[in-house]
Amino acid sequence: MSEWLAGLLSLALAFAGMAALAFAMERHYEQLTGGRNRPPARALRCLGAALLLAALLPCVWGWGATVGCVAWLGFVSAGAIGCVAGINAAPRWAARAAWAFGPGALLALAWVCIAP
Amino acid sequence: MNHLSTAYPGLRLLSRVGAAVLGGYLLASALGVFSGALFPGDAEAVLAGVQLGFAVHVAAVIWAFSPVALGRVWAGLLLPAAALAALAVLLPRWGA
Amino acid sequence: MAKAQATSGAGQGGFRQAQAWLHTWCGLWFSWLLFAVFLTGTLAVFEEPITHWMTPEHHAEEEAALAASTRPTASLGQRLDWGVAYMQKHHAGAGMWELWPADAKGAGELRVFWFDSQRQYVSAELDTASGAPLPAASQPPARLTLGGQHFVDFHYELHAGKVGLWIVGIAALAMLVALVSGVITHRRIFKDFFTFRPRKGQRSWLDAHNAVAVLTLPFQFMIAYTGIVISGLTFMPVGVVTQFGAGMPGAWAFQAALNEPGKPRPSGRPMALPALESFALRGQQLMGQPVRAVVIDHPGDAAARIGVYGWNEDAGAQRRLSATSGLAMFSAATGEVLQLRLPGGVDGGKASLTQSVMAGLHMVAFGGLALKWLYFLCGLAGSAMMATGAILFIVKRRPRHLGEFGGATARVYRLIEAANVAAIAGLGVACIGFLWANRLVPPGLAQRDDWELAMFFGVWALALVHALARPAAAAWKEQLGLLAALCLLLPLLNALTVGDHLGAQLLRGDWESAGVELFVLATGLAAGWSRRWMARGKSIAGSAPRPAASLESEVQA
């Protein structure tokens, strides 16, 4: 896997995962919905954790095991920074971006696995 | 001893900083010396002792600034350092 | 006020409270130095592009070298033979010959090194067409400069040798203490993970400080710890001294115990040095890397050793944390392999490998451009962590100071505020001033690299004087304004002095120069925006501080 693709996929998954973890918290779910519904916390947290773990895959594929783990930690931090900026500036757009990046990156990852 | 604990706050602060910096450094260095003595002539053991030593120094500073009396801070850092150094000297003698 | 002192102070109150005190003061006193070390370290990630931008006359040479590498050139064996012939003729008595025959593609320069009669490490370049020695560079480079190396040198030793190294080391340990105490103090570290509330004054500064710190926390711990460990033996030499002896002999004994299986002593029996090409090729095959250097110990003696070192340009180099190159050591007499070190490996055991991995982690030679940018981002975040911390201190305490320094508190706060401006905005101005100096100091001037460095330190010193002379709010606005102006005008300066500009750089695909200028422009915009935000009144400096007690008495009256 080329380093560019690995980086893009990892960053996308990290952003989506961090966004899921963020919106699992009442404080940030409220920023998103404005209302008083409680967030589906358990589901969002599981989804977030899964997406963050998934972000490790393109890293290991692109850079090998050791460097891949270092790269993963970097992308997780970058994704988190993106989330803090996005959620507090424009929570709905951040959520839309997460919905685009998350499944999109997962699909791309699956395609890379399956395609020869 | 009550009058000592409220008098000269500046000196007491200096003492605590001294304990953290000096005592921490001595304890960390003593660990390096001890690990070297545990495996004489083994340069790797000395290197590992140095690498771990900095974590010990940081921990020592953190502990020195927790709510512990000043006397205990000095003792808590210098006594283990002295003990490790003593062991480092005595171990070869005891035929390790 | 006495009550405030009793419950908040060194080792006072509960554990969290005591750690909060430690975090505040350890953090503050080291924040200015650490910000400088961290920012220059961040810039050092892109040392090569910065050097590239700062040596525009060198670009033509670089392109010529690139073109030359496609022309046929002498083979590896021929180059090695010429190297040996030169050393035999001129330095037959030297105890060590070192040949650098070619670059990773088998082309490029041919250089030889040895220790002369004064034990100085010297070199000569040989012509790759004839093997004849080339005259030492009669002219210095067109634009003598430290380039990006300035940021590297400042980062780890403040351009001050051993003393500077120690100062940076102490600061790095203080950073670790601040990180640990910060985590202990931060009660709602998970709840507040994504929290940022803008336009709320002190609250916002605290949120920003927490965000940049917590979100990059693994990086911050790693970079500080690895930075210290790299020079660990310098900082904690006692173990080496007690086991191996003091001073240089002790250090050599320690190195010998770690690395070398033992440098053989010369046997005294003369023996002609065999042709090196077969050794180089065998070494290449064993290491899996193209030949970088061939080092011969005791040439002309029967106990001679031939060490073949590799270039870290194989595909695997990007995927290894440890940056050591391959090494194959042969006996010149028998041709047997004395030592084989695969790329990334170390001559010693686990601790040596740990040392190499830690150094590699700190200097990010691995992973290509993506990792460099990740480190750059985290480095900027770390710098922001220190800057927001120092600013938060003032924002929190200016309205009502707590009399930590008795009657002198107001004056100390004034000094802290001036230090904030000079250390943060002022350092930025000094860095961009360094680039301005590179274009303004005439290229042919003798020792112009010293002049550039003088500009860096001079501008920074002036920034401090300015910050002490002006009220804090004005100082911030003026220095941020200057930073913005210098940054935004840099491409224009480049065009006027060297005739190169961003458009031309992009057109010819010079991403290094373009990257430098684009980042400088972005910094200029950020500085300009910060200045406008400050001018609108939401400032990080307010009116003169009043003691807390007088406020309380006002409230109660």
Query: Which chain B residue's Cα is nearest to C175?
Result: B58
Q: Give the closest of C211, C321, C367 to A84, CB-based.
A: C211
Tell me whether residues A77 and C194 touch, CB distance under 8 A: no
Collect all residues of chain A within an 8 Å Cβ-Cβ radius of residue C218: 73, 77
In Å, how far is A56's CA from the nearest CA of chain C?
14
One pLDDT digit (tens) per residue for chain A, 116 residues = 889 999 999 999 999 999 999 999 999 999 988 877 889 999 999 999 999 999 999 999 999 999 999 999 999 999 999 999 999 999 999 999 999 999 999 999 999 888 86
Q: Are the beta carbons of A89 and A40 closer than 8 angstroms?
A: no
In Å, how far is A101's CA from the nearest CA of chain C?
19
So what's the pLDDT on residue C406? 78
DSSP tag of A2: -
Tell whether C200 is within 8 A of chain A (Cβ): no
Q: Are the beta carbons of C112 and C97 closer than 8 angstroms?
A: yes
- Subunits close to C (at least 3 CB pairs below 8 A): A, B
Cα C320–chain centre separation: 20
Collect all residues of chain A within an 8 Å Cβ-Cβ radius of residue C194: 18, 21-22, 25, 28, 80, 83-84, 87-88
Collect all residues of chain C within an 8 Å Cβ-Cβ radius of residue B61: 22, 173, 177
Phi, psi for A90 (deg, rounded to 5): -150, 80
Collect all residues of chain C within an 8 Å Cβ-Cβ radius of residue A6: 370
Estimate the share of chain C in helix, then strand, then coil, as percent rounded to the nearest 5.
60, 10, 30
Amino acid at C37: V
Q: How far is CA C114 from CA C91, C126, C252, C273, in A?
A: 8, 14, 19, 16
So what's the pLDDT on residue C453? 97
Q: Is the ipTM of this complex over 0.90?
A: yes
Phi, psi for C307 (deg, rounded to 5): -105, 130
Q: Are the beta carbons of C327 and C309 closer than 8 angstroms?
A: yes
Q: What is the pTM of this model?
A: 0.92
Tell me whether residues A67 and C319 touch, CB distance under 8 A: yes
So what's the pLDDT on residue C540? 55
So what's the pLDDT on residue C547? 53
Beta-carbon contacts of C464 under 8 Å, excluding residues fewer than 6 positions away, are C418, C419, C422, C426
So what's the pLDDT on residue C133? 87
Collect all residues of chain B within an 8 Å Cβ-Cβ radius of residue C238: 29, 32-33
Judged by phi (left if over 0) then psi (alpha if -120 to 50, else beta), residue C12 lies in beta
Q: Closest by alpha carbon to C25, among B54, B72, B60, B61?
A: B61
Collect all residues of chain A within an 8 Å Cβ-Cβ radius of residue C374: 71, 74-75, 77-78
Tell whether B61 is within 8 A of chain C (Cβ): yes
- Subunits close to B (at least 3 CB pairs below 8 A): C
- Subunits close to A (at least 3 CB pairs below 8 A): C
Tell whether B70 is within 8 A of chain C (Cβ): yes
So what's the pLDDT on residue C9? 81
SS3 (DSSP) at C297: strand
Long-range pairs, A88-94, Cβ under 8 A, ≥24: A88/A31, A88/C194, A88/C196, A88/C197, A88/C198, A91/A28, A91/A31, A91/A32, A92/A32, A94/A19
So what's the pLDDT on residue C99? 94
* Disruptive mutation site among A3, A77, A87, A88 for chain C (greatest number of C CBs within 10 Å): A77
Tell me whether residues A74 and C198 touch, CB distance under 8 A: no
Estimate the share of chain B in helix, then strand, then coil, as percent rounded to the nearest 5.
85, 0, 15
Instruction: Round to whole Å and give the CA distance between C88 and A39.
Output: 80
So what's the pLDDT on residue C314? 74
Tell whether B76 is within 8 A of chain C (Cβ): no
Tell me whether residues B41 and C18 touch, CB distance under 8 A: no
So what's the pLDDT on residue C511? 94
Q: Give the closest of B17, B47, B65 to C18, CB-based.
A: B65
Amino acid at A89: A
Collect all residues of chain B within an 8 Å Cβ-Cβ radius of residue C166: none
- Residues in chain C whose beta carbon is closer than 8 A to a beta carbon of chain B? 5, 9-15, 18-19, 21-22, 173, 176-177, 180-181, 184, 225, 228-229, 232-233, 235-236, 238-240, 242-244, 254, 257-258, 348-352, 354-355, 358
Mean pLDDT by 10 residues, chain C (557 residues): 55 92 97 98 97 90 72 84 92 90 87 87 86 75 90 97 97 98 93 92 94 97 98 94 88 80 78 92 94 93 92 86 93 91 89 95 94 97 98 90 81 95 98 97 91 97 98 95 98 94 91 96 96 73 49 41
So what's the pLDDT on residue A36? 77
Q: Give the closest of C15, C177, C243 to B58, CB-based.
A: C177
In Å, how far is C360's CA from the nearest CA of chain A?
11
